[in-house]
Amino acid sequence: MKNVSSVVVVFCTLLLSALFPLASSFAKEPAAEAKTLNIGLITSITGPLAPTLKALADAVKPAQDLMNQRGGVTVKGQKYLMKIIAEDDQSSPPGGVAAANKLIQGGVKYIIAPQFPPTNMAITPITEEAKVLRMKGMGWGKEEMGPNLRYSFYAHSNIYNIPVCYDFLVKNYPRVKKIAFITPDDPGAKGMAEAAEKEIQKRGLELVFREAFKVGTEDFYPIITKALEKKPDAIDLVISIPLWGAGTINQARELGFTGPIFAPMLGDIHMLRGMLNPKYAYDIFHGGADVLSPKMKPIVKDFRVLFEQQTNTTLNMDHAIVIEGLYPLLQGIEKAQTFDTGKVVATLENMKSIDTIYGPGRMGGQDVFGINHVIRRPATLSRIMSGKIEFEFLEK
């Protein structure tokens, strides 16, 4: 009998040991699975602007994976992972409108805005009415931003690169007194040129020539010839993509211009150098970042690894525009602890500090745009001197 009792005790003990973890598992809440946050992106996948702007679409998956690896975004205890939906604007405003409507009809409330200003301006009425928050990775002038645009943001504006470029010009080229503007004919370039002219006046320089070329131009000889008749000491391209910038630089040098050529933005510095005749690759600079520099912040270095593993191509600055817009947007959502775009807008406007892919930043824009919807991040300067690329952060 004693042996039977001992067996029963042992059996009951084993049974309780087996059941206890099962009972504990019922007592705990199961871990919540991550949900999905859809974010739209509009860019030129086809059409004449695609050679430059398709880069944003190419960066979608690595950008999405990077942000998800970093934890996505958590709102009220629920984790959300990113799904970036890229739409083609076909290099035109009507194409942009069609892309925006498609995203909005699909329930998307956040969009990384198209880089081409006329397209971004075309979708503005639609997105503002739908209360869709647009974050443009790299903004240009005042035409796309203002106090009446409640849901429009810039992760960075090239208009703040203008003083950086003119500071560098005055310091390194003291003999420069006369400036020529050669710009693309679009609204963003017009606003940038007006801001650059004020910097010229502040420094006692003289603007001796100003003319715009039509988007898609390849033959810059006529406009450069007219500019050189005014004997400028430097040429400011104001805003450009590598295709236009390289065309202007090569042709200006061929016509005998040896002075500095610069712009607040000229696109990726490595792409630009690769498109230049090597003997003309000197005294060129702009306010963009060299994303291949060892001086880059960890988030850019991590993005580069992912991008180059997934695409088998080299990262450039245009690819980085995607995370430049996405990163602060996610911070705003998480700080607001809601997906209500109106509340996220109010939160972003009042954030005293915000991290950027180029270092600590802050919300600004009131001084230039009349609204605090532009992130001020550390200034950058890339340059080509004697065929070699140089880069530095200018912490301002």
Per-residue pLDDT, 188: 76
For residues 117 and 199, membership in a common domain is answered with: no
pLDDT on residue 14: 38
Q: What are the tens digits of pLDDT across the range 79-114?
A: 999 999 999 999 999 999 999 999 999 999 999 999
Q: What is the pLDDT of residue 4?
A: 39
| Paired sense of beta strands 133-136 and 178-184, if any | unpaired
pLDDT level of residue 124 (50, 70, 90 thresholds): very high
Whether 3 is in a domain gets the answer no
pLDDT at 19: 40
Question: Looking at residue 240, what is its pLDDT?
Answer: 86
Q: Which residues of 358-379 are buried (b: 16+ CB within 10 A; e: fewer)?
A: beebebbbeebbebbbbbbbeb
Average pLDDT of 130-149?
92
Same domain, 284 and 214: yes
Distance between CA atoms of residues 112 and 134, nearest Å: 6
Its pTM stands at 0.86
Mean pLDDT, the chain, rounded, equals 91
- CA distances (Å), origin 116, targets 179, 278, 334, 343, 372: 26, 29, 29, 28, 22
Distance CA 147, CA 124 (A): 13
Is the pLDDT assigned to residue 318 strictly greater than 70?
yes
pLDDT confidence tier of residue 70, bands split at 50, 70 and 90: very high
Residues 205-234, mean pLDDT to the nearest whole number: 95
Cβ proximity of 377 and 384 under 8 Å: no
Structure tokens at 267: 């696109």
The Cα 157–Cα 383 span in angstroms is 19
User: What does the CA dihedral 313, 315, 317, 320 come to, rounded to 10 degrees?
Assistant: 110
d(CA 146, CA 27): 54
Tell me, what's the pLDDT at 175? 97
* 9 has a pLDDT exceeding 60: no
Q: 170 and 261 in one domain?
A: yes
pLDDT tens, residue by residue, 240-279: 888 899 999 999 999 999 999 999 998 899 999 999 999 9
Average pLDDT estimate for 327-344: 98
Q: Are residues 350 and 390 in the same domain?
A: no
DSSP 152-209: EEES-BGGGHHHHHHHHHHHH-TT--EEEEEEESSHHHHHHHHHHHHHHHHTT-EEEE
Same domain, residue pair 389 and 261: yes
C-alpha distance across the termini of the chain, in Å:
88
**Average pLDDT of 47-70?**
95
pLDDT band at 29 (very low <50, low <70, confident <90, very high): very low
Residue 19 lies in a domain: no
Do 119 and 90 sit in the same domain of this protein?
A: yes
- 16 in any annotated domain: no
389: confidence class by pLDDT, cuts 50, 70, 90: very high
Residue 281 and residue 165 in one domain: yes
Do 49 and 142 have their domain in common?
Answer: yes
Give the C-alpha separation, 120 to 128, whole Å: 12
Whether residue 34 has pLDDT greater than 50: yes
> Looking at the 3D structure of the chain, how many domains does it have?
2
* pLDDT bucket at 396, cuts 50 / 70 / 90: low
Q: What is the three-state SS of 9-41?
A: HHHHHHHHHHHHHHHHHHHCCCCCCCEEEEEEE
Residue 213 contacts residue 203 (beta carbons within 8 Å): no
Residue 343 lies in a domain: yes
Q: Are both 301 and 154 inside the same structural domain? A: yes
Whether 149 and 194 map to the same domain: the answer is no
In the numeric block, which tokens belong to residue 129?
Answer: 């009415």
Give the integer Cα–Cα distance in Å for 288 and 335. Answer: 29
Q: Both 98 and 234 in a single domain?
A: no
Indicate whether 90 belongs to any domain. Answer: yes
Q: 371 is in which domain, residue-wise?
A: 35-158+295-377
71 assigned to some structural domain: yes
| The pLDDT value given to residue 308 | 97
Q: How far is CA 241 from the centre of its chain?
A: 14
- C-alpha span between 245 and 281 (Å, rounded): 12
In this prediction, residue 51 carries a pLDDT of: 87
Q: Identify whether 2 is part of a domain.
A: no
pLDDT at 202: 96
Are 126 and 105 in contact by the 8 Å Cβ rule? The answer is: no
CA distance 92 to 117: 10
Element housing 276 (H / E): none
User: Above 80 in pLDDT, residue 335?
Assistant: yes
- Please indicate, yes or no, if residue 183 is contained in any of the structural domains: yes
Q: What CATH number has the domain bearing residue 354?
A: 3.40.50.2300
Same domain flag for 49 and 154: yes
Res 32: pLDDT: 64
- Burial-class residue 10 by CB neighbours within 10 Å (0-12, 13-18, 19+): exposed
